Amino acid sequence: MRIDWDEALEIAAAAHVHTIMTYGPDRVAGFSPIPAMSMASHAVGARFMALIGAPMLSFYDWYADLPIASPQVFGDQTDVPESADWWDAAYLMLWGSNVPVTRTPDAHWMAEARYRGQKVVVVSPDYSDATKFADEWLHPHPGTDGAVAMAMGHVILTEFFVRDPVARFTDYVKRFTDLPFLVTLTERPDGGHAPGKFLTAADAGLGPEEGARWRPVLADARDGQVTVPGGTLGDRWTGAGAGRWNLDLGEIDPLLSLHEEGGETAEVVLPRFDEEGGVVRRGVPVRRMAGRLVTTVYDLLLAQYGVARPGLPGRWPTGYDDASLPCTPAWQERITSVPAARVTRIAREFAETAHKSGGRAMIVMGAGTNHWFHSDTIYRSFLSLLLLTGCQGVNGGGWAHYVGQEKVRPLAGWQQLSTAADWARPSRQMAGTPYWYVHTDQWRYEKFAASALSSPAGPGLFGDRHTVDLVAQSARLGWMPSYPTFSANPLRLGAEARASGQDPARWAAGEIAAGRLGFACEDPDAEENWPRVLTVWRANLIGSSAKGNEYFLRHLLGARDNAAAHEAPPEARPREVTWREEAPRGKLDLLLALDFRMTSTTLFADLVLPAATWYEKHDLSSTDMHPYVHAFSPAISPPWQARTDFQIFHGLARRVGELAVGRLDTAYDLVATALQHDTPGEIAQPGGTVPDWRGDGRAPEPGRDMPALALVERDYTAIAGKLAAFGPLAERQGMTVKGVTVHPVPESGWLAARCGRAPDGPAEGRPLLDTDVKLCEAILALSGTTNGRLAAAGLSALAARCGPGTGLAELGSAVAERRVVFSDTQERPVQVGMSFEWSGKEAPDRRYAPFTINTENAKPWHTLTGRQHFYLDHDWMAEYGEQLPVYRPPLDMAALAEDAGDTYGAEASPDGRAVAVRYITPHSKWSIHSEYQENLLMQTLARGGPVIWISVEDAAAIGVADNDWIEAVNPNGVVVARAVVSHRMPPGTVFMYHVQERLVNVPKSQATGRRGGVHNSLTRLLVKPTHLIGGYGQLSFAPNYYGPTGNQRDAVTVIRRRSQEVIY
């Protein structure tokens, strides 16, 4: 029913105030993705959430668009070249990326660069739109791309490192990767060895004591002695490291390999996942250093890739044509179907072109390879090709990951304002995937132990624990954030902590140790631990990103659903997380949606607020595809009763403030946050172990082996006033981005002059942010990319840490005069400037390419060694056998005890025929997720409703003709669609292009009698435990930066022809 704005806002505000009072502010949440494409609309709502203490849920990792390999390898969220840099590439591989469809405006660069003699190779299971442009098309079986890349790595290591070393490649990996670093080997009961931890300065008793456990070491080729290079994490956060955090090796010549004739060797046991329980034993050259048996990452890498050298024991392939052992070209052919000779040739061409062109070989990689459960291993095998050939940090070379649209170029300002860090710190930022995994109860349907995917060569850490047990463990160790955090209202805890007279963090740790205070995620189905109020804006959660859509409907919303999966039987249930017999249905009290169109989210929302579109409001936009920041400007005013997001959140804040009087007033909120990347929190847990205190009677230490705790004062009556003004903390405490702090003191003055000052109230005298234009102005003024003074200040600060030899201060002075104000962006898109916020250089005559500051100015990557990592030595990486790049096949759902559920029977099909196929959901033409493919023109140019693409062979097997209605059914749900039969599809795989909404032309399912679902109705969340690791260098949480992916590519489904009579 329709109500007026006042009533709607009052209902929403009352729900917020009631929930905060009764359950706590962390039982409220906000979801709004992709700030880059309308920064102010995102920031105003996120800022509101931060001011009331509600968590914002991350999107980039939740969408599985975040390539976890990026933080793992680079210590960075995602930093990629703009599309114009494709033009600079001499060799371009499009690997799982359908550029004409998903990067439509930029595809012309790819088409045109071929005329410059660029060679284009497309790797895609279907004859995709991109394949039309390919000089070569490789079509491995879906999800086996890692095997292709591992074999290419085998060829490159064999020919360009071992057989005939290329000086440029060797020099690159010595300076810019962890390959020369020393790794200890630990002896196994079977006599073999396991790759262990990096040898550190602490082990070797070298260098300053401060931070010594965070200084991995290498051997110097000149004298073979262990030496401590600069630039490691130990130099980043310690007093001793000031001026030393750089990649300048001075006289040191890193020893890449310990291999020498007649030298000592040891056999390491390495997993192979292409065979059940498989391992290979291969020798590596070793020495005893600092009392330990060590080898180099490079030596381990050659063993992993199966590249033999004389004198090493173990089983090695006899040649490229040996299909029995990883990672030869013949071995990959068995797995992928791609001819071995072609893989060999392309690998060779790739490396030769990189050699000739100085690193201008590029891999555009996309969701086709990034949305799998094991995508991090796939990506690491791709990145290895680029690192080995010296392409990363070079214009025209390196990785070009385009999935999602995450790049907020004016980062510092947006981050400061969207987290309300100018008023209160810290804010609650939640990793989306574990949030939904826990609160939509998808874990209750998971029937396998986390160890089902452990390495056969691993230490066996997971035993029979359920993945949700690991999620809870990662929360209590401070690895991942977790909201609601505690089993009690954090406002009550804040009050009690204050009353105790103790340090609030210590008090809370004591309560936990005494067993009086529990973590909410250890009993997520308890009523007091549910999320209660969720606001979704600029997003279509329920129709688009909700992997395990039917479980969202059932448990979060309490709506009807099409899932038929059974819950885990008692023996497969969690060991540490409480199992409640009756799963809750309908946890949310209020789903509030702001939108300008009808979606599944608005259909299921309790309250829908009509929002203005992009062309009815002022906002800012940027992207990773081009170097500009530009304005959205209203072409018309919001029609009818629509309001901008900015106006809506300000209206909501005012009403919350009014209702808070006498109810909430000023409260003290006990806020728990994870150990965060690019802060000293990332050196909380040395050695990459699992320092769990639960069960061993030890009291946890906040910020060390449990989350950091802070008491935040919140005056709930002042929310609206603070929302509309720039607070004082940015000037006082600085704004910190990626570990660099700048103080916007002149900017605050400039903003006051530009925007006026608050005349009274809680923000009296502060610069006003009471219009969307002023908020945009503030984002630009507070960011280095658009304000050269801040860029220069940040680069100077960085220079102090990295040392004057890096020339970073000089880089800063080159951009210090640049300044972009909002009216500039309204006139035309404005190119941003180089800044400490990003890793690449850009200039009018230079395209943006990531990590060029690292390669050209010796600035370390934000990793443990300060270099790009092949090797990850955390305990959980060893458990999963992923310390090094490795091929892991797509999940075998049957082997993982994925039951058929009460899967709707074959009677649904007239003739009982069905095919079981891999179910893939790539991005479609003519839409940004669900937007705007239900538009009549787009539907007319397509098939007018939901379709599933199916191969000629599979269609024939079930008697399906083109445009027949079919049903795709699996335990998670049902999709009703029409078939598009095409020979461009490989047999055994179907595509349902992303987000064909249930809004348009979706009949009722013959199997269930209810409305057919969306593409995510056949998926269910599976959390990869290694993504939960935290508190350890680059393996530390940051929102939208690092966290478990909401992957969905490994799904399988059964397809049947259904009755051609449909009912709507």
Does position 988 bind other proteins by CB under 8 A? Answer: no
- CA 120, CA 401: separation in Å to the nearest integer? 16
Q: Which stretch binds other proteins (CB under 8 A): 107-115, 569-577, 757-765, 769-777?
A: 107-115
Report the C-alpha gap between 75 and 203 in whole angstroms: 24
Site for other proteins in 555-594 (CB under 8 A): 560
d(CA 681, CA 801): 18
Which one of the spans 265-273, 839-847, 848-856, 961-969 is the region binding other proteins (CB under 8 A)? 961-969
Q: Which residues contact 385 (CB under 8 A, 6 or more apart)?
A: 149, 152, 153, 156, 347, 350, 363
Applying the rule CB under 8 A, the residues between 65 and 104 that interact with other proteins are: 90, 100-101, 104
Number of neighbours of residue 741 by Cβ within 10 angstroms: 12
Residue 962 touching other proteins (CB under 8 A):
yes
Asked if residue 918 binds other proteins (CB under 8 A), the reply is no
Tell me whether residue 119 or residue 1020 sits nearer to other proteins (CB atom): 119
CA dihedral 503, 507, 509, 514 (to 10 degrees): 160
Q: Is 112 in the site for other proteins (CB under 8 A)?
A: yes
Q: Does 945 bind other proteins (CB under 8 A)?
A: yes
Q: Which stretch binds other proteins (CB under 8 A): 270-278, 660-668, 771-779, 933-941?
A: 933-941
For other proteins, the binding residue among 6, 132, 460, 900 (CB under 8 A) is 132
Q: Cα(969)–Cα(905) distance, rounded to whole angstroms? A: 10
Q: For residue 163, what is the DSSP state?
A: I
Distance of closest approach, residue 924 Cβ to other proteins, in angstroms:
10
Q: Does 3 bind other proteins (CB under 8 A)?
A: no
Candidates 630-638, 739-747, 793-801, 974-982; binding stretch for other proteins (CB under 8 A): 974-982
- Does residue 117 belong to the site contacting other proteins (CB under 8 A)? yes
Q: Is 930 in the site for other proteins (CB under 8 A)?
A: no
Q: Does 928 sit near other proteins (CB under 8 A)?
A: no
Q: Which of 27, 119, 444, 677 binds other proteins (CB under 8 A)?
A: 119
By CB under 8 A, residue 961 contacts other proteins? yes
Structure token pair of residue 460: 């066996």
Residue 651: enclosing H or E segment and its boundaries?
A: helix 645-660
For other proteins, the closer of residues 184 and 602 by Cβ is 602
Q: Are strands 226-227 and 666-673 parallel, antiparallel or unpaired?
A: unpaired
Give which of 48, 73, 785, 115 is closest to 398, Cα–Cα.
73
Supply the minimum distance, in Å, between the C-beta of residue 948 and other proteins: 12
Q: What's the CA gap between 7 and 480, in Å, rounded?
A: 38
Q: How far is the CB of 396 from other proteins (least distance, A)?
A: 10
Question: 686: which 2 tokens?
Answer: 């040395």
Whether the CB-CB separation of 31 and 430 falls below 8 Å is answered with no
Q: Interaction with other proteins in 265-324: which residues (CB under 8 A)?
A: none
Query: CA 98 to CA 812: how far, in whole Å?
Result: 37
Closest alpha carbon to 866 in 377, 99, 231: 231
| 784, 826 contact by CB (below 8 A) | no
Sign of the alpha-carbon dihedral angle for 303, 393, 383, 84: negative
- Alpha-carbon distance of 47 to 40, in angstroms, equals 10
Please report whether residue 1010 would count as binding other proteins according to CB under 8 A.
yes
Can you tell me which residue has the tokens 């057919």? 1012
In the range 394-453, which residues lie near other proteins by CB under 8 A?
Answer: none
Residues numbered 595-654 forming contacts with other proteins, rule: CB under 8 A: 598, 600, 603-604
Q: Which is nearer to other proteins, 334 or 983 (CB)?
A: 983
Q: How far is the CB of 349 from other proteins (least distance, A)?
A: 7
Q: Which is nearer to other proteins, 871 or 949 (CB)?
A: 949
Q: Report the C-alpha gap between 306 and 878 in whole angstroms.
A: 19
Figure out which of the listed residues 11, 84, 111, 452 binds other proteins, where binding follows CB under 8 A. Answer: 111
Q: At a CB cut-off of 8 Å and minimum separation 6, what does 285 contact?
A: 257, 258, 259, 260, 263, 264, 265, 295, 299, 312
Distance CA 731, CA 745 (A): 5
For the CB of residue 535, give the shortest distance to other proteins in the complex, in Å: 21
Q: Which of 213, 663, 913, 925 binds other proteins (CB under 8 A)?
A: 925
Q: What type of residue sits at position 1063? A: I
At 831, is the secondary structure helix, strand, or coil? strand
Please identify which residue in 136, 322, 496, 824 interacts with other proteins, judged by CB under 8 A.
Answer: 136
Per-residue tokens: 1015: 């593409």
Shortest Å, Cβ 1036 to other proteins: 40
Please report whether residue 159 would count as binding other proteins according to CB under 8 A. Answer: no
Enclosing H/E stretch for 572: none
How many positions of this chain bind other proteins (CB under 8 A)? 76
341-370 binders of other proteins (CB under 8 A): 342, 345, 349, 353, 356-357
Q: Are 386 and 421 in contact (CB under 8 A)?
A: no
Distance CA(1025)–CA(877), nearest Å, equals: 9
Q: At residue 321, what is the residue type?
A: D
Site string for other proteins, 791-820 (x = CB under 8 A): ------------------------------
Query: 3-state class of 806 per DSSP?
Result: helix
Nearer Cβ to other proteins (612/1002): 1002
499 lies in the binding site for other proteins (CB under 8 A): no
Pick between residue 127 and residue 628 the one whose CB is nearest to other proteins.
127
Q: Is 745 in the site for other proteins (CB under 8 A)?
A: no
Residues 195-234 that bind other proteins (CB under 8 A): none
Q: How many CB atoms lie within 10 A of CB 288?
A: 9
Contact segment (CB under 8 A) with other proteins among 130-138, 403-411, 638-646, 655-663 equals 130-138
> Interface with other proteins includes 1003 (CB under 8 A)?
yes
Among 225, 666, 741, 963, binds other proteins (CB under 8 A): 963
CB neighbour class for 932 (10 Å; exposed up to 12, middle 13-18, buried from 19): middle
Residue with tokens 């509309």: 724
Q: Is 386 in the site for other proteins (CB under 8 A)?
A: no
Nearer to other proteins, 440 or 951 (CB): 951
Q: Which is nearer to other proteins, 745 or 941 (CB)?
A: 941
